[in-house]
Structure 1
Amino acid sequence: MNTPTQKSTAVVALGGNALLRRGDAPSFTNQLANIKIAAKAIAEIAKEYQVAIVHGNGPQVGLLALQNLAYDKVQPYPLDVLGAESEGMIGYMLAQELQNLMPETEVTSLLTRIEVDPNDPSMLDPTKFVGPVYNEEEAGILAEANNWTMKRDGEFVRRVVPSPKPLNILDKKSIETLLNAGEIVICCGGGGIPVRKTDYGFTGVEGVIDKDLSATLLAKQLKADKLLILTDADAVYLDWGTENQRALRATTPSQLSEYHFPAGSMGPKVEAAADFAQFGGRAYIGALEEGLDVLAEKAGTCVSA
């Protein structure tokens, strides 16, 4: 997976909720403060690994969608365009903060298109949370006014949108070229921009790809050594939220298949980690602040075959 003279390659998946924490006002100031924390953690990882960063965009793209509705003299922009907007915004902020911390290292943020199946089952059964959280009354009003689908996210309610599975990273060669040049690469942001193949090339798809599944696809296509999924939980837990909750520290894809994890939160992370472990790599799930310890298997959850 890596030559003797190269650092090991790690794909780092950074949750959108880590960049705009649950309950935070969705302001630039709050997001920048969280991005500074994320950049500091990733900079430590980048000292020991060649890093490709995949970030989420659920809160951000949902906010853009709300802002999109405020100006009603034009049709709202589709989700793939809003995803590209959020990818550019977050990528710029992350790149700048990483470069400030590591001035001798080149950092590039790359808008990334990812092919999906327009007939993916999720197009009819949305599961991807976007935007802020609401109470029941607020959610009902917004759902009726905008024809949105809403689902429960913990004690709150949020909008959900289609989340087709990623099939192919169209910009993989550019990512490889940048990594081989020794750069930190921010790519597949928000899971990447969903596009579908037509007789005339590619066109956008109305959806938001899950960033953990895109990170796994990237790790497999790059033949990376490790996949690190950073989240607001310090590990994968069984019986989460009960007095019997317990952390899984080392597990396998077959063991994980025996349990159920929520589709809107830990489910895609577990699926992504198990998929990469079956591919032959080592996958990790843990807290942002413990990134290096998670990779060293001193914290978090390690998934291996």
Structure 2
Amino acid sequence: MRVVVALGGNALLRRGEEMTAGNQRANARIAAEALAPIANQHELVITHGNGPQVGLLALQEAAYEAVEDYPLDILGAETEGMIGYMIEQELGNLLPFEKPLATILTMVEVDGNDPAFQDPTKFIGPVYSRDVAERNAAEKSWAIKPDGDKWRRVVPSPLPKRIFELRPINWMLEKGAVVIAAGGGGIPTMYDDNRQLTGVECVIDKDRCSGLLAKELEADAFVAATDADAVYLDWRQPKQRAIRSATPDDLDAFDFPAGSMGPKVEAAQVFARATGKKAVICALADIPAALAGEKGTTIWTMSEGLDVHP
């Protein structure tokens, strides 16, 4: 079975945790422990978020004033290498020595006319108090928005149109490699007026890109791993209820938060509708059980209606 697993940002850096290399490596080790059983049994492609990491690099760039800041596409490429390296090493320490692993820098095409460029929504970087966020916004020309009880920088998040490295990803899977690709939603690129590829100052949503990657790779299952054990109705309310299974159409009746569960649900719906295969949203540790239908939320066109548990 070919499986694409999208690791949520919490898989590498938990909310409020210091953005140290040690913390990220420790979290990569935890993620590797959950992924190793999948890698031993199935063809596996791993994608991951990069919001905290790309935000940290942007802050480091801003602090060094001798040269102009590097654009977000370059920073995205840097995080693909950094995070891919950590996942490769930690997962490689758990898998048989002969199991190959590879991180592929992945360019993803976006549309320069996407309306997302007029309404930045993608969170990057650390969380701040409102006062600090507003001061940073004034000093650095940032757009900011609330994220829970904190505030964060936001940048445009256009839809992914095309993934350029599909062929090498397929080649590596056919040779038995575990592939880490499309990190942070991929490196945003577009064609200019001369049909030359150029970088774009934005961050593509990781879940939307991962769902597209799963579809294009003809994956048998798409998994969005997050810090919640399922998709919930009335999340964090006294009467919250977990959705155990649903069709993509069932979920159209609900409005999930745009900054967290919304893109995961949307990506799962798109994959399930386009392929007729299962998409799963679950906690990282629950991936094996969720693939078996025992945990998490399964989204499938063949589901027998909305199954909700207290």
**TM-score bin (small chain):** over 0.9
* Distance in 2, Cα, partners of 1:36 & 1:249: 28
Indicate the residue corresponding to 1:284 in structure 2.
280
Question: Once the 2 structures are TM-superposed, how far is the Cα of residue 201 of structure 1 from its aligned partner?
Answer: 2.0
2:259 maps to amino acid: G
Report the TM-score when normalising by structure 2.
0.95
Alignment counterpart, residue 127 of structure 1, candidates 121, 127, 136: 121
Indicate the residue corresponding to 1:70 in structure 2.
63
* Distance in 1, Cα, partners of 2:115 & 2:37: 39
Report the TM-score when normalising by structure 1.
0.96
* Distance in 2, Cα, partners of 1:114 & 1:77: 19
* Distance in 1, Cα, partners of 2:87 & 2:139: 35
Indicate the residue corresponding to 2:248 in structure 1.
253
Aligned ranges for residues 98-113 of structure 1 at < 5 Å? 98-102=91-95, 103-113=97-107
2:159 maps to amino acid: K
Alignment counterpart, residue 233 of structure 1, candidates 223, 228, 237: 228
Indicate the residue corresponding to 1:138 in structure 2.
132
8 Å CA contact 1:234–1:287 kept in 2: the answer is: yes
Structure 2 stretches lacking a partner, 5+ long: 302-310
* Distance in 1, Cα, partners of 2:154 & 2:270: 24
Indicate the residue corresponding to 2:306 in structure 1.
none
**1:301 maps onto 2:294 in alignment:** no
* Distance in 2, Cα, partners of 1:144 & 1:252: 45
2:218 maps to amino acid: K
* Distance in 1, Cα, partners of 2:239 & 2:122: 28
Indicate the residue corresponding to 1:213 in structure 2.
208
1:77 maps to amino acid: Y
CA RMSD of aligned residues (A): 0.8
1:62 maps to amino acid: G
Alignment counterpart, residue 112 of structure 2, candidates 102, 107, 118: 118
Provide runs of 4+ in structure 1 moved above 2 Å. none
Alignment counterpart, residue 196 of structure 2, candidates 183, 198, 201: 201
| SS at 1:223 equivalent | coil
Question: Once the 2 structures are TM-superposed, how far is the Cα of residue 200 of structure 1 from its aligned partner?
Answer: 4.0
Aligned ranges for residues 255-270 of structure 1 at < 5 Å? 255-270=250-265
Indicate the residue corresponding to 1:80 in structure 2.
73
* Distance in 1, Cα, partners of 2:92 & 2:296: 27
* Distance in 1, Cα, partners of 2:147 & 2:198: 31
Indicate the residue corresponding to 2:146 in structure 1.
152
* Distance in 1, Cα, partners of 2:250 & 2:17: 35
* Distance in 2, Cα, partners of 1:18 & 1:127: 21
8 Å CA contact 1:50–1:179 kept in 2: the answer is: yes
| SS at 1:159 equivalent | strand
Indicate the residue corresponding to 1:40 in structure 2.
33
1:119 maps to amino acid: N
* Distance in 1, Cα, partners of 2:209 & 2:196: 21
8 Å CA contact 1:191–1:209 kept in 2: the answer is: yes
1:278 maps to amino acid: R
